[in-house]
Amino acid sequence: MSDKQWYEHPSLILQIKSLSGLRDDLRELNLYEGEGIRPTTDLGEPSEEAKRARTPDGTFNDLSDPWMGAQGTGFGRNAPPNMTITHTKKLLDPDPRLISRKLMARDSFKPAGIINTIAAAWIQFENHNWFFHGNGDADKVIDIPLGPDDEFPHNPMQIRRTIPMNGKEIVDGQPAPVFANVETHWWDGSQIYGSGAEKQSKVRTFKDGKVKVHDDGRLPESLTTAGIDLTGFEENYWSGVGILHTLFAREHNAVCDALKRAYPSMDDQRLFETAVLTVSALIAKIHTVEWTTCILRHPALQIGMNANWYGALGETFRDRIGRVGDSEALSGIIGSTADHHSAPFSLTEEFVTVYRLHPLIPDDWNFFSVESGEHLTNKTFTEIQGKYTRDFMHSMPVGDLWYSMGMASAGAVCLHNYPNALRKLERIDGQITDLATLDIVRDRERGVPRYNDFREMLRMPRRKSIDEITPNKQWAKEINEIYGGDVDLVDTQIGMQAEQPPKGFGFSDTAFRIFIVMASRRLKSDRFFTQDFRPEVYTQVGFDWVNNTGMKDVILRHYPELEEVIGGVDRVFAPWPKLGAPAPDKPNRVVQLADTVRAYLPWG
């Protein structure tokens, strides 16, 4: 096996070719379905509604396998079963709290620079659409004894165990059992609408297809939890995800208004389901061609992610000519034929692992007026999350929240940059949790391979020593001390955060390998992004809405006061200019891509 990685090839063309080959390889060798992952109950024939639209619980996306990807079905794996061993007797080896304190805790804020805190909130907003293992059982916990100098308020620290599905147990030395996803696995906007008919009914008005939004443009309060908005997913809530939930609830209602004008005979249900299709596809598009290309700035990825959506022939060709046959390469995944590749579709435990991106969140926040530019207040993260969310969000205009979060840089995904507010997080139920410790324990508990094995299962070269993991000699020294020099014991989170990412990357190449296969799979497996992405299903209004709308359009539709700030901005997930600063030049996409490519050439 060659040790040359895709980004080490001398030309952009060879890098793109290598990435394409990697994706094909991963699709064939790194998709596995666990035993009992889906119920066997016969759901019968799909209703007309299920054929034409997304169901609340995710059933019938694949009409030939209606349970695939549904709410409550199990996570799949990217690792083969024989590499998902859970060592319960070594669950705390090395001590995960010590790892949190000595390797992960933020000593000073390290800004990412290339992305803002809206981008940090965005990935959590998306994660809440994709996966949730549930809150576990308060009586089934993992006790983590604390050292004599540890000031955490509870000793032992307690973490609720993840409960396997189908009555299975975690057995030491055996492959991990299957765990269920509380959400649907599909990219269906469930963070806005909820997974399941019961939750969905709570956010709907049942009039003109709309969801509940107050006349002042803010969301109503949760029916169960004070301080939290009423929305489809209310866990781990804070002001950053709050502005996104508010934005896309308003966008849903704007789509409903447009559909009602164009098709006055549409009833409430048809308006609602068509708006769900439209907004879900719009979010997927924004994530694919805007968020991802902002956090992964390498030119091969700029081309690759746009090609995922539009194909190698590009957006202009698609808009003017349409698709060229069923070719995913030429015309993109969107509108092609669905394909699950080597296993039925589900999200995977390893996918959950690589999206543990908590270092993106700052501990300290500054807020400014978008009208005057003046500084309004400072807050800690604790003061803008959980039970404090609504009070804080209602203390200033929402446009000020957008402006402030748009200007602020997210944190870099690296060691010694994990938010300390999240290492002593008070949840709504009063439980105090160290999420850094939790991240380490969850991977071990769920049988996610440790760093070297994780790389091996992706056919990446193993590291022979801890010193090979990172060029940072101080980090290598600290990792060696914690792990006793055993490179094979290093946790995946620690290895990924210690790695030197490829040029222009916001996270590690090891994490990126899971991204390569799963980012395209979420589109390619979904009927409503493939053969049913067409006007006959979305309506012409919905179809055009997805094709002609970007994140900036959505923001300015609902918060036009931000026009002066972002009117000339091309990447809304990159830090925004301050009010009154000269607007940056806005090159067209071709010029911008050419400039990006030139910067990576040997003479650039």
Active site members: 128
What six digits make up the tokens of 431?
């439980």
DSSP SS3 for 298: coil
| Contacts of range 22-25, beta carbons closer than 8 Å, 24 or more positions apart | 22/513, 22/516, 23/516, 23/517, 23/520, 25/459
> Within 58-104, where are the H helices?
96-99
- From its phi and psi, is residue 356 left (phi > 0), alpha (psi between -120 and 50) or beta? beta
The secondary structure element, H or E, covering residue 426 is strand 425-426
The sign of the CA dihedral 185, 189, 190, 196 is negative
Q: What angle do CA 549, 554, 560 make, to 5 degrees?
A: 130
Count other C-beta atoms under 10 Å from residue 109's C-beta: 14
Residue 259 · residue 542 · CB < 8 Å: yes
- From its phi and psi, is residue 325 left (phi > 0), alpha (psi between -120 and 50) or beta? left
Of the candidates 188, 185, 251, 177, which has an alpha carbon nearest to the alpha carbon of residue 219? Answer: 251
CA–CA separation, 410 vs 403, rounded Å?
A: 14
Q: What angle do CA 134, 138, 143 make, to 5 degrees?
A: 105
What six digits make up the tokens of 205?
């008005």
What six digits make up the tokens of 225?
């939890």
What six digits make up the tokens of 182?
């509380």
DSSP β-bridge partners for residue 432: 426
Q: Could you write out the DSSP letters of every residue in 343-405?
A: S----BHHHHHHT--GGGS-SEEEEE-TTT--EEEEEEGGGGBGGGHHHHHTTS-HHHHHHHH
Strand 425-426 and strand 375-380: the pairing is unpaired
Q: At what angle do helices 239-262 and 268-286 cross, to 10 degrees?
A: 130
CA 450 to chain CA centroid, nearest Å? 22
Buried (b) or exposed (e) across 360-387, using 16+ Cβ within 10 A?
A: bbbbebebbbbeeeeeeeebebbbbbbe
Backbone angles phi, psi at 55, to 5 degrees: -90, 155
